Amino acid sequence: MPEPPLLRHKRYDADEIALSSAALLELLMAVHEKGADFRFRATGTSMYPTIRDGDIITVSPLGGIKPGVYEVVAFRHPGNGKLVVHRVLALSPDSFVAGGDNSQSDGTIPCSHLLGVVTKVERNGSPLFWPDKRRYPFLAKVYFQTGYWYITVRKRGYGMVLKLFRKRSGETIP
Amino acid sequence: MQELDMDARYIPSGNIVARVIEGELILVPLVSGIGDIDDELFSVNETGKVIWDRLDGKASLAQIVQLLADQYSVSLGEMEQDVRGFVGELLKRKMIVDARASPASS
């Protein structure tokens, strides 16, 4: 044999185990097949400020319950096949519109691409308030709707302040 | 080193997700219904994968040692040491179970 058998643990050999998005997607599907939740580290800023780069998120299988509008879901992007965690912006019987809180809409996604729903977010070792729709449907609805509108208003507010600042400083506004 | 019964046959535990991803065997233990790849993710090298593939409950550890020693032209003693070390590690982490004790075994 070329080398002795070795079992490497990510915590101690982190540099040696790097998972691609495709690998992450495959593992998520395999874990969900067993009915278990999938916990992993989020990367990117498309869901900022709701989910930040480096937050630990838990994606649970749908379990026959369709996610609601403004809930945060995991799905396989129909364009690039990558695992994406974004918010449901609109829902129809067989498709949904998704988008990041800090990015543009992903367009219409077939419901068959849905993988699960985010049920827990941890930041700096502590869980954030994140009601699980399966346990607290009403609370989850209010929380996600309010959160979405807060982010939208904040983004628009920043945009207006920026425009005003540019106008006052004589910059041309595109 | 942990004492192992070389006549025992082992199979992967029902609480383990094993996938070959991009040529590498990845193991994710399911702890309390969670597959936690941030804290509990393992990868197995090529040699370990060869041993893992034979942990299907059909062959005993002694038979696996014999088979692999023949296949790779390695001495029985060296191969047994490698298999004992690797299987001991898997047992310690409850990634495999004795096929005789498993309800799924026939």
- The second-level CATH assignment, the architecture, of B10-98 is Orthogonal Bundle (1.10)
How many angstroms separate the CA of residue A103 from the nearest CA in chain B?
Answer: 25
Contact A20, B55 (CB under 8 A): no
A89 and A75 Cβ atoms separated by less than 8 Å: no
| Contact criterion met (CB below 8 Å) for A7 and B89 | yes
pLDDT tens-place string over residues A27-79: 999 999 999 999 999 999 999 999 999 999 999 999 888 899 999 999 999 99
Question: What would the pLDDT profile of A103-141 be if each residue is shown by its tens digit?
Answer: 989 999 999 999 999 999 999 999 999 998 878 888 988
Residue A6 lies in a domain: no
Work out the pLDDT band at A156, boundaries 50, 70, 90: confident
Q: Is A17 within 8 Å of B45 when comparing Cβ atoms?
A: no
Q: Which amino acid is at A142?
A: V
In this prediction, residue A172 has a pLDDT band, given cuts at 50, 70 and 90, of: low
The conformation of residue A173, written as its DSSP 8-state character, comes to: P
Find residues 4-43 of chain A whose CB sits inside 8 Å of chain B: 4-11, 13, 16-17, 19-20, 22-24, 26-27, 30-31, 34-41
A7 is a domain residue = no
* Distance from C-alpha of A49 to C-alpha of B89, rounded to nearest angstrom: 41
Mean pLDDT for B32-48 is: 90
Distance from CA of B2 to the nearest CA of A (A): 16
Residue B106 has pLDDT above 50, yes or no: no
Question: In 3D, which of A99, A138, A114, A128 has the Cα closest to residue A63?
Answer: A114
At A61, list the tokens. Answer: 């299988």
Classify residue A135 by burial, with Cβ atoms within 10 Å: 0-12, 13-18, 19+: exposed
Burial A101-112, CB ≥16 within 10 A → b, else e: bbeeebeebeee
Task: Identify whether A62 is part of a domain.
Answer: yes
The confidence score (pLDDT) of residue A19 equals 79
What band does A16 get if pLDDT is binned at 50, 70 and 90?
low
pLDDT at B39 over 90: no
Q: Is residue A1 part of a domain?
A: no
| ipTM of the modeled complex | 0.85
pLDDT digits (tens, 9 = 90+) for B7-31: 999 999 999 999 998 888 999 999 9
C-alpha distance from residue B93 to each of A94, B13, B77 (Å): 42, 10, 24
Question: What CATH number does residue A76 fall under?
Answer: 2.10.109.10
Question: B33 Cβ partners below 8 Å, 6+ apart?
Answer: A35, A36, A37
Q: Check if the beta carbon of residue B58 is closer than 8 Å to that of residue B9.
A: yes
Averaged over A79-96, what is the pLDDT? 94
Q: Is the pLDDT of residue B105 over 70?
A: no
Least Cα distance to A42 among B37, B23, B45 occurs for: B37
Domain that residue A32 falls in: 14-168
pLDDT > 50? residue A26: yes
Specify the pLDDT at position A15.
Answer: 54
Reduce the DSSP state of residue A156 to 3 states and report it: helix
- pTM of the full predicted structure? 0.85
Asked if the bond preceding A49 is cis, omega within 30° of 0, the reply is: yes
Average pLDDT of the residues in B28-36: 94
- Give the range among A51-60, A61-70, A163-172, B42-51 with minimum mean pLDDT: A163-172
Distance separating alpha carbons of residues A145 and A67, to the nearest angstrom: 13
Measured distance CA(A164)–CA(B43) in Å, rounded: 54
Using one digit for the tens of pLDDT, what is the confidence trace for B70-88?
A: 988 989 999 999 999 999 9
Where do we find the tokens 């780069």? A53
Q: Where are the domains of chain B?
A: 10-98
The structure tokens 């994710």 sit at B28
Test mutation, A6, A7, A29, A32, chain B, max B CBs within 10 A: A7
Question: What total of structural domains would you count in chain A?
Answer: 1
Closest CA to A24 of A79, A81, A100: A81
Which segment of A63-67, A152-156, B42-46 scores lowest on mean pLDDT? A152-156
